[in-house]
């Protein structure tokens, strides 16, 4: 990968990181707001609001899930930026082959080539199947 490509992917990744940080802040803010609302709630009427409460909790769990997922992506992006600096960006961490350009365009923080990724997915599926079998 030449310097021009590296600079290109670096700017893409920095943009990804910025967008993601914005999203995470947004989720955190929503969570904080609903926590404050709960704290200010009228507890004598608590039972009447159980249904709402449940929805809120589910909503919060969903947000939590998104934050978790985003944190993973964030980690991937940071590592991809480190790989750009190290000069190993765009190479599969498994087999060392170049990752397909189209794949990098779609997912600049990809660390596996298409082949290794699909092999890994097969292994994951098989493990899942075996676990199901054992029980």
Question: Minimum Å distance from CB 53 to Zn ion?
Answer: 48
| 120 interacts with Zn ion by CB under 5 A | no
| 111 interacts with Zn ion by CB under 5 A | no
Q: x/- binding map, residues 90-109, to Zn ion, per CB under 5 A?
A: --x-xx--------------
Distance of CA 58 to the CA centre of its chain: 19
Name the segment binding Zn ion (CB under 5 A); options: 17-25, 44-52, 55-63, 116-124: 116-124
The size of the interface with Zn ion (CB under 5 A), counted in residues, is: 5
| 24 interacts with Zn ion by CB under 5 A | no
Question: Minimum Å distance from CB 1 to Zn ion?
Answer: 16
3-class DSSP assignment, residue 91: strand
Is there a contact between 116 and 92 (Cβ–Cβ < 8 Å)? yes
Tell me the C-alpha distance between 78 and 67, whole Å. Answer: 16
Residues pairing with 91 in the sheet:
98
Tally Cβ neighbours within 10 Å of residue 65.
11
Nearest Cα residue to 9 out of 89, 76, 74, 113: 89
Question: Minimum Å distance from CB 2 to Zn ion?
Answer: 21
Q: Which residues bind Zn ion (CB under 5 A)?
A: 92, 94-95, 113, 116
């Amino acid at each position: 990968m030449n310097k021009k490509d590296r600079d290109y992917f670096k700017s893409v990744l920095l943009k990804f990181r910025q967008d993601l940080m914005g999203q995470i802040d947004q989720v955190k803010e929503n969570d904080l707001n609903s926590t404050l609302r709960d704290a200010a709630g009228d507890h004598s009427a608590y039972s009447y609001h159980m249904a709402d409460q449940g929805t809120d909790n589910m909503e919060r769990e969903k947000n939590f899930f998104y934050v978790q997922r985003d944190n993973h992506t964030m980690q991937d992006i940071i590592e991809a930026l480190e790989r750009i600096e190290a000069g190993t960006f765009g190479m599969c961490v498994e087999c060392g082959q170049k990752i397909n350009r189209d794949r990098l365009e779609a997912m600049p923080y990809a660390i596996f080539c298409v082949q290794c990724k699909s092999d890994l997915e097969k292994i994951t599926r098989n493990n899942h199947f075996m676990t199901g079998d054992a029980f």
